[in-house]
């Protein structure tokens, strides 16, 4: 159980970042510093009233406070991330004895741009700051003796997702710099995801509703990997095939890094020249993958074939006669689903349910009909990540399928019967294990109409669940 809810955790990080920045311009006694510092201290002590200590810092470049992860960084988070990285600090830990004076001095010392981990540690000791501790980057082991991915089961799922995201980002950055990417971090995180997926194929599906519109390609790659793995596991494939599907899915669009940005991000339709250029991304991607170490040869083949279409009406045209295995059909189904459910400059996202209807129309031609059918079955009547209205007039997010009753999944209530947004979503089974009935789903709700960010809800709602 986390000590703060996500908005307060975010507020704390923002205040910390703001106070650090402000110290460069004002003395600590100035109201522009003192006020945010006092608020920061108040939130920090509230957090500490629930436990011995709290931590904030970076996991694989992603800011966290306790078990909250901040996937889409604000300016304050980006600034703090940069400072922590420059200083070589992975984590700051505060214990319950922390005083306002210690916090104030720490913020002042931390605010010096040139000071690094070792000097800062010495200055803190000299200044008597003993209730705040630093963990050096590279020395991160979590206090419970656990891998951080295992702090809480679902928080662990988010951590796996963000690790995958960071692995893909690094791979893309290496490609941009003309380097051959290292496949090891991606393989490591896929292995973790495979273990989760083989046990519960749907366990990671909710995370695919995390859509970061500014970094569409990265999230899209991870989402397609997650969906492909889930589909492979549902189809009864063995662990090695599911693992290769996860890797292929996550790498399927890396060739886009080689496509000029003005084409890649163009709103509206491509000209025929632009489309020809865009169509080269599977070839670019498969070539890069062939050069990467430790990847099975058919992973590059899946990437090459992911736009060929089931009836081979797709591209690259020269590859339409080549033999491919079923994995391209699986990745193509996952790719199509994630693309349809994502908001892009030129596209309003479809709800998961509408996306499945759309895909049914493509079954047998563009997509493999049998795989689409299996995918639809796997996603259920109300796929994870769907926002629904209940007959109690509450609005809820589908959180987990119910294998016993596809129409009665586990949900998180987001808006109550009076239309009030709940500060903390409430977990609710529509039908209890004893058969008791809570409510029925009456409609699917468009999250944009309710101004609800499903991704945020999915990553933010873990600690409060009973």
Helix (H) or strand (E) holding 55: strand 53-59
Q: Residue 132's Cα: distance from chain center in Å?
A: 29
CA 263/CA 259 separation, integer angstroms: 7
- Least distance to Fe ion from the beta carbon of 249, Å? 9
- Least distance to Fe ion from the beta carbon of 139, Å? 37
Q: Which backbone phi and psi does 67 adopt, to 5 degrees?
A: -105, 20
- Least distance to Fe ion from the beta carbon of 191, Å? 23
Query: ∠ CA 153-332-302 to the nearest 5 degrees?
Result: 90
HSE-up (13 A, CA, CB side) for residue 123: 14
Closer CB to Fe ion, 107 or 230, in the complex: 230
Closer CB to Fe ion, 286 or 402, in the complex: 286
Q: 301: which residues sit within 8 A by CB, 6+ positions away?
A: 286, 324, 325, 328
The β-bridge partners of 367 are 363
**Site track for Fe ion across 333-372, x = CB under 5 A:** --x-------------------------------------
Closer CB to Fe ion, 102 or 253, in the complex: 253
**Alpha carbon separation from 22 to 27, 29, 35, 74, 308 (Å, rounded):** 9, 11, 11, 17, 55
Closer CB to Fe ion, 66 or 253, in the complex: 253
Closer CB to Fe ion, 163 or 256, in the complex: 256
**Site track for Fe ion across 208-247, x = CB under 5 A:** ----------------------------------------
- Least distance to Fe ion from the beta carbon of 426, Å? 35
- Least distance to Fe ion from the beta carbon of 184, Å? 24
Helix (H) or strand (E) holding 58: strand 53-59
- CB neighbourhood size of 116 (10 A): 13
Closer CB to Fe ion, 72 or 264, in the complex: 264
The β-bridge partners of 388 are 396, 444
- Least distance to Fe ion from the beta carbon of 379, Å? 18
Closer CB to Fe ion, 104 or 253, in the complex: 253
Do 398 and 384 contact (CB within 8 A), yes or no? yes
Binding residue for Fe ion, selected from 60, 253, 329, 394, defined by CB under 5 A? 253
**Site track for Fe ion across 298-337, x = CB under 5 A:** -------------------------------------x--
Closer CB to Fe ion, 148 or 335, in the complex: 335
Q: Which backbone phi and psi does 27 adopt, to 5 degrees?
A: -70, 155
- Least distance to Fe ion from the beta carbon of 224, Å? 6
Q: At 79, is the secondary structure helix, strand, or coil?
A: helix
Number of residues that bind Fe ion (CB under 5 A): 2
Question: Which of the stretches 248-256, 286-294, 323-331, 454-462 binds Fe ion when contact is defined by CB under 5 A?
Answer: 248-256
Closest by CA to 172, choosing from 75, 90, 89, 289, is: 289
- Least distance to Fe ion from the beta carbon of 424, Å? 35
Q: At 296, is the secondary structure helix, strand, or coil?
A: coil
Residues that bind Fe ion (CB under 5 A): 253, 335
């Amino acid at each position: 159980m986390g000590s703060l809810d996500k908005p307060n955790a975010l507020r704390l990080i923002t205040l910390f970042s703001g106070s650090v920045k402000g110290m460069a311009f004002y003395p600590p006694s100035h109201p522009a510093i003192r006020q945010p510092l006092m608020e920061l201290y108040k939130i920090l002590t509230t957090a500490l009233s629930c436990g011995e200590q709290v931590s904030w810092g970076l996991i694989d470049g992603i800011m966290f406070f306790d078990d909250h992860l901040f996937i889409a960084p604000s300016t304050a988070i980006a600034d703090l991330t940069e400072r922590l990285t420059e200083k070589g600090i992975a984590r700051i830990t505060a214990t319950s004895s922390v005083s306002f004076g210690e916090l104030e001095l720490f913020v002042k010392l931390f605010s010096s741009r040139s000071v690094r981990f070792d000097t800062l540690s010495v200055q803190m000791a000299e200044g008597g700051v003993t209730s705040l501790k630093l963990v050096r980057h590279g020395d991160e082991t979590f206090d419970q003796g656990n891998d951080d991915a295992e702090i809480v089961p679902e928080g662990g799922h988010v951590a796996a997702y963000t690790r995958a995201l960071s692995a893909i980002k690094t791979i893309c950055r290496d490609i941009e710099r003309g380097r051959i990417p290292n496949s090891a971090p991606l393989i490591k995180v896929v292995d973790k995801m495979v273990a989760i997926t083989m046990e519960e194929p749907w366990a990671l599906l909710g995370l695919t509703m995390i859509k970061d519109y500014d970094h569409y390609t990265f999230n899209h790659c991870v989402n397609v990997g997650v969906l492909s793995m889930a589909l492979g596991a549902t189809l009864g494939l063995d662990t090695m095939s599911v693992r290769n599907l996860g890797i292929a899915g996550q790498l399927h669009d890396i060739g886009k890094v080689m496509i000029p940005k003005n084409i890649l991000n163009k709103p509206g339709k491509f000209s025929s020249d632009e489309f020809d250029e865009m169509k080269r991304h599977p070839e670019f991607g498969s070539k890069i993958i062939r050069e990467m170490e430790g990847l099975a040869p058919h992973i590059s083949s899946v990437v090459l074939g992911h736009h060929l279409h089931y009836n081979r009406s797709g591209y690259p045209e020269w590859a339409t006669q080549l033999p491919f295995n079923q994995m391209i059909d699986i990745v193509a189904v996952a790719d199509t689903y994630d693309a349809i459910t994502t908001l892009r400059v030129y596209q309003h996202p479809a709800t998961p349910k509408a996306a499945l209807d759309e895909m049914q129309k493509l079954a047998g031609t563009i997509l493999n009909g049998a795989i689409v059918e299996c995918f639809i079955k796997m996603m259920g009547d109300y796929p994870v990540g769907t926002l629904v209205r209940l007959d109690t007039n509450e609005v809820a997010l589908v959180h987990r399928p119910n294998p016993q009753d596809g129409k009665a999944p586990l949900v998180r209530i987001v808006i109550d019967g009076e239309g009030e947004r709940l500060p903390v979503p409430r977990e609710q089974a529509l039908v209890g294990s004893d058969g008791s009935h809570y409510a029925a789903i009456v409609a699917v709700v468009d999250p944009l109409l309710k101004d609800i960010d499903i991704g945020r809800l999915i990553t933010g709602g873990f600690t409060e669940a009973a």
